[in-house]
Structure 1
């Protein structure tokens, strides 16, 4: 829901980029670049993305089944390859035994060659020619047998290696099949995630387009008022105050969203010191202290006509908080079940000074709200005219570029250095930014 973030974003931008806020107009909000429209037309429809997501889901489910089947097949194949009864294992064992037998035969043949050579060498000098011929023949036959045994051993070793590798290849192939199934499942899951993400993104964009197209309206009778926030805060201390949201209208507001944004700088106005601040809230229905996230509280709930709710607030400043100035922006929005929305026309400002740790503030009073906008139609065509300080006149600058004395405190002056003088005026643009058709309300 766009309105949940509109106030927080717009008011924060009033400090960091007020020129952008003041440049926004209803005409700009309603006008979209031609290229953007063309891009939207070229995008697949939600129906097409739903069909793609359904196909991706189906493919993923099939991939899961295929993976599971492959795993069963692989386990069975590996178990069989571990058994001596498998044909490849039988062949490998036989080849291994043949290689062993060939090695034994070669060893015996080599021994016979050695013995024949020894017998030939041992013949006496007076040995007959026949004896010498018989010894030489025996050696030749032994050498031939040894050569044949060596050839047979080489062949048997090769066959044994091939048979062993066949078993190994079968195991690798089984695992490879499982790996292919795993990769197919991984790809199917990635495709499913991508399809689901594309569909979710398209739906979100469609919802945001609907939200942006809704006409929100200002509700002067919805008020948010702070009490108990002093004009001086000391670093290292915690300050308690309260925020009351009232529905002064004659209708029920289904959901209230309260904005509480605190912005601060050091004395130069050039350094943002917001990181040293911690803002918390609690209520009667939710007494546990909770940190304010993104500068808004959406747990207020509904308010009947004339009803109000009080939030307890506490602002803690770190001991390291530099002395300087700060401002709190307070506003409220509503959102109804029928799609209507709106809220306070602008954000009220509460200014305060920040004292260094250990300082003893003098007599202080509660900070007073300074309305930032009015709902009267302005001359710029936006339907809302920014106002200045509490006097209702625009803030003026002196010759040195600082804010002149127009009822603004030193906090406004310092904050203005960081965000420009439009900080005082910038909150007025909140209404313009968050309500796309503000101009049509005039």
Structure 2
């Protein structure tokens, strides 16, 4: 569904806002602006891309691809024109001349040896004449052997020069192959950059924040660490038309003791949902799970139960649960809730080894009233003291592997949590 993809962009500002907002909390309490130089950047900001950055990425990828293509064209030209190191060409040409000269000298020596042998075959008038003929044959034979050695040496020199030339051409061919592979990767990189930019621009044009889907939350004001509590979530269609597909997203977090604490998305609170249509408790995790509302009639609403399970190790302090709605219609229109719903609560310290009360039936079997004609309601609130099962905590931490929807939800709840933090600072100041 498109809204799964667009939600991250819709609340990207919320992702970058929380820690800046929190770092300015003392100034908010004193109604004085916090200097920009003291504002703390949100963790993970470098993973978020703005429109300007996406356009720059396309330009960079295009320039990289163009540069690689220019390099490959130059290599192709060198291959076509046999453009290698001039010295290699000179060495090869000289080696070729040396081979030709050695072969000519060998042929000449072979001719002289043949003449000497022919003369020796003729009758000699004296022993002295015969001896001279035999010496001429011997000398001619030595000359032939020397010429043959020169030919062998010239051939070896030519072979080395020819191999050096071939190696240079092979190197060009390999460089051509390497550049071709780099170009394939660069083309994919450019295509990905263009797709990211197109998605960003399409999201911004097609799915703006609006108030079509409204969400409201209600639940207990206090939850003891190591127990679970029920919250009621209502998703309403405020428009004058039926929405073809509606989803909601929820996230809960414990607030930090200090505004300097960057790890306030610790693995403290698990969120599950259930409704009249989905009776089993379904976890909402960082994998981007959504509350599936489906079609929602104009003016209608859909009620959902949220079960928050707070880990025993959770420190006492404020907490918040956040919810957001989104929709998409068959005609392509879509939107994201402009006003997220939040519910604040206090997290009480775990009761140690004291016996836990018997779990109430409401924690094991959800009892939402079915929605009929878009006007159904559900019982609000409710809590339990059901202990948390070991090893069953959802990873709600904000990290580089956080998927798109989880990242969006985390960012938006952080913004709501920041408001809680500031509000509590104000209340503490007033009580003092």
Instruction: Tell me the TM-score normalised to structure 1 length.
Output: 0.46
Q: Which structure has the larger Rg?
A: 1
**Normalised TM-score (structure 2):** 0.47
